[in-house]
Amino acid sequence: MATIAHKIGTPLTAISGHLQLLLEDPQLSSEVNQRIQIIFRQTHRLNTVMQDLLNFARTPTLAFEPVSIPHCLDQALQLFLPIFEKQSILLSTHYQASLPLACADFLQLQDAVNNLIDNAIDAMPHGGQLRVSAWPQDRQDSVVHEPGICIEIHDTGIGIPPDCLESIFQTFFTTKNIGEGTGLGLAIASEIVQQHQGKLSVESTEGKGT
């Protein structure tokens, strides 16, 4: 998989670079500029798909360390602030005071959160509310005899059809239109959470949110 990704990724990077140079040409007509932008966006999408495939195929060695969950969540949310503003998404965070540090891989956990936020954004194309919360919770079903932390990401988006709820964490399953999703984001997030002795679950109501 890594070899295939490299062979595809290298020419894609070159194509993206040349497209960026073309877009800087002030002599381009408006129509040509728009067409190049479409090609550039689709090239970026291909790069994203390849990265998703790589992330799913590799089994990373997790670097566990004491992690502040509020800090991890805030760092992830910072990446999306321009998108929240552009799509009129109102963000609120609710972290219970004195949350214990979690034994986690900071970057992997952040990747999982990023994938969940991505899906929440896609569910609110016309704006809405995103609430991110965290609180302590007993890990009764875990072999780890330490207090756990529950992270909840709630959106007021379009919701998920009931017949899809059991399948959304399956590899390559997606409810998005062709070309708009790889069906890997939630599968990757679920795998990361499981590697942290946790569980990813979903509740959703069509027309109200997830």
| DSSP codes of every residue in 7-31 | HHHHHHHHHHHHHHHHHT-TT--HH
The pLDDT of residue 91 is: 96
pLDDT on residue 140? 58
Please report, for the chain, the start and end positions of each structural domain, with discontinuous segments joined by +.
2-57, 65-195
Question: Residue for token digits 């877009």?
Answer: 23
d(CA 138, CA 172): 32
Here the tokens at position 122 are 């896609």
Residue 55 in tokens: 């992330």
CATH class of domain segment(s) 65-195: alpha beta
Tens-binned pLDDT, residue by residue, of the chain (210 aa): 555 655 676 777 778 788 888 888 888 888 888 888 888 777 776 776 676 666 666 666 788 999 999 999 999 998 888 889 989 999 999 999 889 999 999 988 988 898 899 889 989 999 999 999 999 987 655 555 567 899 999 999 999 888 887 877 776 656 655 445 556 778 888 888 988 889 999 999 999 999
Task: Mark residue 153 as left, alpha or beta (left: phi above 0; alpha: psi -120 to 50; beta: remaining).
Answer: beta
Backbone angles phi, psi at 87, to 5 degrees: -95, 10
pLDDT of residue 7: 64
